[in-house]
Amino acid sequence: MIVTRFAPSPTGRLHVGNLRTALHNWLLARKGDEDGQGRFLLRIDDTDAERSREEYVDAIREDLAWLGLEPDAEYRQSERLDLYENAFAQLKDAGRVYPAYETAQELELKRKIALGRGLPPIYDRAALKLTDEERATRQAEGVSPHWRFKLDREQRIDWEDAVRGPQKFDPAQLSDPVIRRADGSWLYMLPSVVDDLDMGVTYVLRGEDHVSNTAVQVQMFSALHQAGVGPDHCDVVDSFPNLGHTALLVGKEGKLSKRLGSLSCEALREAGIEPAAILSLLARLGTSQPVEPIAERRVLIDGFDLATFGRAPAKFDEAELERLNAAIVHQLDFDEVKDRLPGGIDEAGWHAIRPNLSHVSEAAEWWRLVTGPIEQPEFSADDRAFLAEAADALEWSDNPWGTLTATLKERTGRKGKPLFLPLRQALTGMDHGPDMGELLPLIGEDEARARLASAASA
C-alpha cells in the first residue's frame, strides 16, 4: 500500500512550494489507487501553539479542496500529544534523549567560537557532562531544560533517496537536535517520525531543504522502531519509509522565499488562475517531462514518475503559468464555468468568446461586445458608404456573417481586410476579437443593423 502525507504547519497560507509538495504526494498516492491501495493523508503540524492559527487550518483545507487534492484522512498533531509523550519516555529510558540547559545566547556564542576556529558549529554535548548535582542546581535556579535526541555517532546514516540517489551522512558531523523546548512543547523532528510510523506512511516526499533533517530522523526511526513505538507499540514496518527530496523552486531572480506572498494559493485564486493550470505546471516542473496544459488529472497521475525528477533547481515562471492558464481556459466546457459567468452568456456565447480569454473573469469584458454599448471608431467616407451598403444588405440566416460578407464582396468588390475590418469595427468597436461568424448571431439582427447604420452616419 502506498501511503503519503502532506504535513503543513498552520502558520500562514499555502504557497506554490507547499502546493508542489502536496501535489507530488497526492499524485504518488493516486497512482497507487490503480489497485485501490493508495492513501493521501493531511497532517496538520500544529504543535507550535503560539504560531498556529485556526484560520490557517481552514485555509489549508480550502486550498486543497479548490485544487482537488482532498485527503483520504486528516490528523492534527495537537490531538496526538499522548503518542509523543510515550515515544519520548521510551527514548528517555533507552538513553536516546537528554536534558540540556544552555540558553539561546550561550548556544549562539558556542556557534560563533566554533566558526571562528574554522570548525563546524556542532553542539559539543556539554549537557552530557553535567553531574546530577549540577542538573539539580540548574533546576533549583528555575532553569528548565530543553531536550535533545542523542545521535549514535557509530551508526552509519545512509539511504537510497527516491530522487537524489544514494545519500550518506556522518553522524559525528551533525548536532544532536533539540526535540522539545523548555516549556514542554514539541519541535518538528520527533512528532513527525512518530506519526509516520503510527500512520504507516510508506513515502516521505518533500523538498531538498529537509535532507539534513532526514539524516537525523533516519536514526530516530531506528531508535523508535527498536523501542517498539508504532501501531500497537510493536506491529511496525521493518524499516523507515521510502524517502525522496525534490529540488526546490526558484524564480528568475533566484529563490522564491522572499516573493511567496504573491504566490500563495489564495493570491493565485484571486488572480483568476485555474486549478488545472497550477497542477499542470507544478506536476512536471523540475522533471524531464514536458510542461503542458493538462486538464485531465488522470493524465498527470499516470505520468507521474519520481525517476523523471532532476537535481537542478526547478524554475517557476509566472509567465509560463499565465500561458498554461489561457490554454486551460480554452479547454473548459460551458458546464464547468457557467456558474462563474455573467448573466446572459449561454453555451453559444461561451464558445464564441472563450478563445479570446486568458482568465474566465475576462468573459464580462468580451460579452460587452454582444450586449453593448460599444464605442465605434471614426470611419472614412468610403467606409461609411460601405457600411451603409452593409446595413442594407444584411439578411438574417443560419449564417448571417457568411451571407453578409459574400453579398458585400459581390456588390462592392472588396475582399480581405478592407471587407472584414470595417464590419468588425462597426459591429464590435474593435479591430480584433471573437470569430464574427459566432458573434454576429449573438448580437442579433436588429442590433447589428442599428450598429451598421450608426457607423454609416457618424
pLDDT band at 352 (very low <50, low <70, confident <90, very high): very high
**Assigned domain for 118 exists:** no
* Pair (319, 393) in one structural domain: no
What is the b/e burial string over 166-185, where b = at least 16 CB atoms within 10 angstroms of the residue's CB?
A: ebebebeebbbbbbbeeeee
Mean pLDDT value across the chain = 93
What's the rounded mean pLDDT across residues 442-456?
A: 96
In a domain, 125, yes or no: no
What is the pTM for the complete model shown?
Answer: 0.90
408 with 304, same domain?
A: no
User: 3-class DSSP state for residue 236?
Assistant: coil
Taking the C-alpha atoms of residue 49 and residue 67, their distance in angstroms, rounded to an integer, is 27
For helices 275-284 and 16-31, angle between their N-to-C axes, nearest 10 degrees: 80
Q: Say if residue 362's pLDDT is above 90.
A: yes
In a domain, 121, yes or no: no
Residue 228 — pLDDT band, cuts 50, 70, 90?
confident
Residue 373: cis peptide before it, omega within 30 degrees of 0: yes
End-to-end CA distance of the chain: 73
If asked whether residues 305 and 164 sit together in one domain, one would say: no
Q: Are residues 367 and 389 in the same domain?
A: no
Identify whether residues 7 and 62 lie together within a single domain.
yes
- 177 belongs to a structural domain: no
In this prediction, residue 1 carries a pLDDT of: 87
Q: Are residues 61 and 192 in the same domain?
A: yes
For residue 417, give the CATH number of its domain.
1.10.10.350
The reply to whether 342 and 307 lie within a common domain is no
40 shares its domain with 189:
yes
- Other C-beta atoms lying within 10 Å of the C-beta of residue 254: 10
Report the CATH number at residue 167.
3.40.50.620
Write out pLDDT tens, residues 320-333. 999 999 999 999 99
Q: Over pLDDT 90: what percentage of the chain?
A: 89
Say how many domains are in the chain. 4
Length of the chain: 458
Please report the pLDDT score of residue 257 as a whole number: 54
Is residue 367 in a domain?
Answer: yes
Instruction: Say if 13 falls within a structural domain.
Output: yes
Closest of 150, 145, 189, 157 to residue 45, by C-alpha: 189
Which pLDDT tens digit goes with each residue over 139-190? 999 999 999 999 999 999 999 999 999 999 999 999 999 999 999 999 999 9
Residues 167 and 242 in one domain: yes
Taking only the tens place, the pLDDT of each residue in 255-295 is 665 455 668 999 999 999 999 999 999 999 999 999 999 99
pLDDT digits (tens, 9 = 90+) for 187-222: 999 999 999 999 999 999 999 999 999 999 999 999
- Biggest distance spanned by C-alpha atoms of the chain: 110
Q: Is the dihedral of CA 252, 257, 259, 260 positive or negative?
A: positive
Type of residue numbered 131: T
Tell me, yes or no, whether 242 and 162 share the same domain. yes
The domain that contains 297 carries what CATH number?
A: 1.10.1160.10
Give dist(CA 68, CA 156) in Å, integer.
Answer: 41
- The CA–CA distances, whole Å, from 8 to 77, 136, 268, 342, 399 equal 11, 38, 19, 36, 56
Residue 119 belongs to a domain:
no
Give the separation between CA 308 and CA 402, rounded to whole angstroms. Answer: 50
- The DSSP bridge partners found for residue 4 are 40, 203
| Helix (H) / strand (E) containing 5 | strand 3-6
Residues 254 and 320 in one domain: yes
Identify the domain containing residue 366 by its residue range: 334-371
Q: What is the pLDDT of residue 259?
A: 53
| Residue 376 counted as domain residue | no
The cell for 152 is 549514535
Residues 265 and 314 in one domain: yes
Mean pLDDT confidence for 40-51:
94
Hey, which residues does 99 pair with through a beta bridge? Answer: 147
> What pLDDT does 260 receive?
55
206: Cβ–Cβ under 8 A, 6 or more apart, which residues? 21, 244, 245, 246
